[in-house]
Structure 1
Amino acid sequence: MKKATSVFWISLLISLVLVVWGSLNPNHLNLVSLTLTNNILEDFGWFYLILVLCILLFCFFLMFSRFGNVKLGNQNEQPEFSRASWFAMLFSAGMGMGLVFWSTAEPISHALTNSPMAEEGTDEAIKEALKYSFFHWGIHAWAVYGIVGLVLAYFKFNRNAPGLISATLIPILGDKLMKGVLGKGIDVLAVFATVIGVAATLGFGSAQITGGLSFLFGSPNNFSIQLIVLGVSTILFIWSAWSGVGKGIKHLSNINMGLAVILLIILFIIGPSMYILNMFTHTLGSYISDFFRMSLRLAPLNEGNRNWINNWTIFYWAWWIAWAPFVGIFIARISRGRTIKEFLFGVLLLPTIVCFIFFAVFGVSALHIEQMGIAKISSLKVDLSTFGMLNEYPFSTAMSILTLIVIAIFFITSADSATYVLSMLSTNGNLHPENSIKIVWGLIQSTIAAIVVYFGGTQGLQNMLIIAALPFAVVIILMGISFYKDLHNNSSQKR
């Protein structure tokens, strides 16, 4: 703890205040945060849509510009990790458990209970369901992660700056400001968003694992079991973070990507294979043709459609922005030695394709069951949708157990990545933070999750993350400007 900075203590204090609020009066926290969240989604929806699209276009510009061959680090430096391990780690940190959670539930929701535009249950609603699932979990989300990770990696490995958000803004805001109160405030915001986001995810993840155990084996689905799941997971993800990026985090990520691919292949083979292929192909075409329309769709004259956009698209955009400090810093840490073009190709395109395949296989398999009248997956709780769908196919028990394992490891890999990032941010960007800091942050995240879940303040935490996204969206804009300025100046000097 000797190396802990003021960012650590300030972030910890703010997080604890929020936990006490959520524990003593969760309804008040939910009400206040929901009011602020709704106002942000309504008033700044246009801002989020334009910003995320501009980030994506900027990433493509960098990928195909003369800057694409700039290496993150020394020109002769080789990547620390193989492409397979690099991809497994960045994917586990960026999506991981959320993908398994929503790849069944979101298409079902869009098609049957809350359609973007069409009448629920119609063929058009089913086609829209998969298209908007692709949209929400596709290249836009990864562009937000990608630009934050790229900027951090560039300043860390090319400019030898601390691995801090504030350090990336020095070229435009100056050294004095970024090492003062403003810089500390930006780093505290990054830590706060990570702690709250991961705590909420730990709550959701432990609930899904507990629900899955209850669905499969009839175990009690209550807080005591959820607490046991959270406790065991905490021990595992702290151990993984303790082992370091090159050991625990890498090995777990590699194992889990392999298991997830096996699960995907099995479900594709025993599921409605031709229907999946047809829907995937059609949806990919409509996604590409409607890309810009969806990217800027606000429906200002249709209140119902606008509410749907607020609750889904803009909410997701804010969520990805709020998660960008954590995911971006982690991706930056593991990307030394790669060119800008290789980095952006690996962070934007490959994860997008994998997400599309997951949603096609899981989502279409669930929709097929509903359409055939075999079971009503839409009537199940969100955290049980995947298990309910698997229950209607051959080898259901084996696949459900495999799904539980995949969820559990994704759960652990997200938490160990976050623990590592929080430890970096708390020790002035140190790439090898001391283990005592990792233990403290691991315990803090799990404690916050347990307390808030028990008192029912999870929605409040989720809302607070969306609120934190607004100021960080401005920070991302400044990061992009600072990065381009430094990259352009450095390139001009070498010519």
Structure 2
Amino acid sequence: MFRPNTTFNLKVFVPSFIFMLLIGFLGMTVPGKMKETLDVVQKFTFNNFSWFYVLAASLFLGLLLALVFGRLGDIRLGADDEDPEYPFFSWVAMLFAAGMGVGLMYFGVAEPMMHMASPITDNNIEKNAMLYTFFHWGVHPWAIYGVMALALAFFGYRYRLPLSLRSTFYPLLKEKIHGPIGHVIDSIGLLATVFGIVTTLGFSAIQLNSGLHNIGLMADIGFEQQSLIIVVVTTVAILSAISGVGKGVRRLSEMNLLLALGLLVFILFTGPTVKLLSSFAENTGYYISHLAEISFKTFAYDTEHQGWFTGWTILYWAWWASWAPFVGLFIARISRGRTVREFVMGVLIVPTLFTLLWFTVFGNSGFYANEVAQGALAKLTSTPEILLFKFLEYFPLSSLSSIVAMLILALFFVTSADSGIIVLNNIASGGSSKPVPKWQSILWGVILIVMAIALLRTNGLGAVQAVTLIVALPFVLIMTGMCFSLIRGLRSDARYYSHKLNAGSVFWSGHRWKQRLSQILTQTQESDMHSFFNETVRPAFNSLRTELEQKYQLHVIINEYETPELAMELIIEKGQWRNFLYGVRVQTSKAHEALKDEVTLPNLTETTVHEPFAYFGDGRLGYDVQYMTQEELIADILKQYQRYLNLMHSEDLALIMKAPVDGGDHR
């Protein structure tokens, strides 16, 4: 029987592929009808789910900040003794590179200018234009990426599950992640990633087309030219993906980063340098001071600007969500060995600071150039793809800087498509580590080409963004559920690794090891608890009382209870001081249902577990004493009594050690 050479999980790939074929076919054959349908669905999404996008993005940011300041931040993404895979500065440099992208080139000048030309406030127009640009490119996108990356890294390196989307739901779904629910999660993630990449390819093609036209290498700006650019550049990306020249691609990425930094420094020092640096400080402070307010703003009381809100903020949140598997997987792969706290702070702070600096340099320089040009740049906001190149004309060496800008765009285009093909293979293969056949990479490249061209034909970038918005909605819902799964996984991890050895085991030696083993492997029932009290607790308490009363003339009381649970207390009275109390009571808890069917634990037949726990008069948490003998239980009581006597001598603790006005049941 013929078996195709593929790493695809067909239950994930086939439904996704059919949906993509349908979108591509409709975009090519009936673009008008396709546009009408997308408009209706997009309007429905805007009207009914904008609030959900806003709350979800803020939830992701809040979760990451809570992890930074909570004890769960100490958990390491890997073994407890595992060192980070990359040195700190190398890791920071890669995060810095991850913050770069086509969007910064396309929107660096255009977005602040567009907000200024269509202000949503009547005062501080330029300042508020920068505020909302910072909002769209600041901590929120990196919180969306960070949640995805953290979940992938945690379950991949801590739980040792495949680096796949379904793995992030293991605490909630357990083995069901390998079934239909897991296939649906991966399928939706696959579709969201495809359309997120297609959106980026659309932006790249349109801006490259404008740049080539600006320097005279293309006669016109239009659909045919943009389609040609998509085919050529994506073909280069396919060749890169199937050639295996990973080092070459990394070198291209590093060169691209240096070129982008060079362009940033060039604009900074040939523009109004002091004003730009001052603006960076003020922009950042203004952004931080308004962050809480704008994070939850849905313009419910400002319906005049709701079109702006949905056309910018909601589309951005959908775009970032669609890119979350892509960027998240990259960040997860380079973050093994970091603590959760270190990871979150690095992911939120490093890329955000760079993007804020980038938008200050290009955005505020755009305002400056617009003043010099007497408003000429503001008139071009309806064609944002050409703004960058027109902006560069107001600086020295404009021809050279335009060529550098196009080179940066082309390299971003290639590396984004190349990396996108790798990530799509990963998602469609369920995180498989098997070598990927070359035909799969070629297929993904062709899919990206067809989807980008089909959607550009339908309605330009509007159609691309509409489909991204629609597909990203269920994926944002999935990411919200993933947050709860991540919290549950982190809490389980903290509980597992902080769980101490049974207090009774400190007395163990090799003596009586067979009896100890039998106790460990035998599930204690209620009848066993009565035997333990009769054979161990009561004799130990009575022996100690006899010694304390006859030899040391202390007054000792032993209380016994049958309800609400079996318990015994040994109390040494101390007059004006709080009495010493050491008690043992039976606690019942539920074991996991699956343990009943565990063949390696044949003695576990019930799901109710009975265990004798120590408790104390000062309310401290006790511990399991079921493995102690009479002598060991007496030794444990004496340890607690010795602690009690030492604390009595401390003047600072008199308030705690003094007897309460009226006693009570300490159980």
TM-score, shorter chain, exceeding 0.5: yes
Q: 2:37 aligns with which of 32, 46, 66?
A: 32
Amino acid at match of 2:456: V
Matched, 1:206 2:198: no
Amino acid at match of 1:408: A
Match of 1:69 in 2: 74
Matched, 1:108 2:103: no
- Structure 1 residues 214 and 393: CA distance shift in structure 2, 3 A: same
Whether contact under 8 Å (1:23, 1:457) holds in the other structure is no
- Structure 1 residues 89 and 83: CA distance shift in structure 2, 3 A: same
Matched, 1:126 2:147: no
CA distance in 1, matches of 2:446, 2:269: 41
Whether contact under 8 Å (1:321, 1:472) holds in the other structure is yes
Match of 2:621 in 1: none
Matches within 5 A, 1:36-185: 36-81=41-86, 83=88, 86-87=91-92, 89-90=94-95, 95-112=100-117, 114-118=118-122, 124-176=124-176, 178-185=177-184
Whether contact under 8 Å (1:85, 1:250) holds in the other structure is no
Matched, 1:464 2:463: no
CA distance in 2, matches of 1:92, 1:432: 27
- Structure 1 residues 353 and 245: CA distance shift in structure 2, 3 A: farther
Match of 2:512 in 1: none
- Structure 1 residues 210 and 373: CA distance shift in structure 2, 3 A: closer
Q: Secondary structure of 1:117's match? A: coil
- Structure 1 residues 57 and 129: CA distance shift in structure 2, 3 A: same
Amino acid at match of 1:203: G
Whether contact under 8 Å (2:157, 2:336) holds in the other structure is yes
CA distance in 1, matches of 2:98, 2:52: 26
Structure with greater Cα Rg: 2
Whether contact under 8 Å (1:89, 1:254) holds in the other structure is no
Match of 1:429 in 2: 431
- Structure 1 residues 433 and 324: CA distance shift in structure 2, 3 A: farther
- How big is the shift at 1:24? 1.3
Q: 2:393 aligns with which of 391, 399, 410?
A: 391
- How big is the shift at 1:130? 0.8
Amino acid at match of 1:387: F
Aligned sequence identity (%): 35
Whether contact under 8 Å (2:202, 2:456) holds in the other structure is yes
Amino acid at match of 2:13: F
Write out per-residue CA displacement over residues 298-319 of structure 1, whole angstroms, 9 at most, x where no aligned residue: 2223221222222212222222
- Structure 1 residues 311 and 452: CA distance shift in structure 2, 3 A: closer
- How big is the shift at 1:374? 4.7
Write out per-residue CA displacement over residues 275-323 of structure 1, whole angstroms, 9 at most, x where no aligned residue: 2122222211211111111111122232212222222122222221222
Would you say how many aligned residue pairs link Structure 1 and Structure 2?
489
Match of 1:275 in 2: 275
- Structure 1 residues 56 and 144: CA distance shift in structure 2, 3 A: same
- Structure 1 residues 331 and 87: CA distance shift in structure 2, 3 A: same
CA distance in 2, matches of 1:16, 1:457: 18
CA distance in 2, matches of 1:52, 1:378: 31
Whether contact under 8 Å (2:32, 2:458) holds in the other structure is no
| Structure with the larger strand share | 2
CA distance in 2, matches of 1:27, 1:95: 35
Match of 1:220 in 2: 219
Match of 1:288 in 2: 288
Highest relative contact order (Cα 8 Å, sep 6+), 1 or 2? 1
Match of 1:336 in 2: 336
- How big is the shift at 1:171? 1.1
CA distance in 2, matches of 1:252, 1:395: 24
Whether contact under 8 Å (1:92, 1:414) holds in the other structure is no
Amino acid at match of 1:109: M
Q: Which runs of 5+ in 2 are unaligned?
A: 499-667
Larger deviation, residues 403-412 vs 326-335: 326-335
CA distance in 2, matches of 1:414, 1:133: 23
CA distance in 2, matches of 1:311, 1:372: 30
CA distance in 1, matches of 2:424, 2:355: 26
- How big is the shift at 1:439? 2.5
Q: 1:415 aligns with which of 414, 417, 421?
A: 417
Larger deviation, residues 474-483 vs 237-246: 237-246
Larger deviation, residues 5-14 vs 61-70: 61-70
- How big is the shift at 1:13? 1.5
Amino acid at match of 1:10: P
Q: 1:15 aligns with which of 17, 20, 26?
A: 20
Write out per-residue CA displacement over residues 56-108 of structure 1, whole angstroms, 9 at most, x where no aligned residue: 11101212322323222234444444556545555555650011100100000
TM-score, normalised by the number of residues in structure 2: 0.70
Match of 1:187 in 2: 186
CA distance in 1, matches of 2:92, 2:212: 30
| Structure with the larger helix share | 1
- How big is the shift at 1:133? 0.5
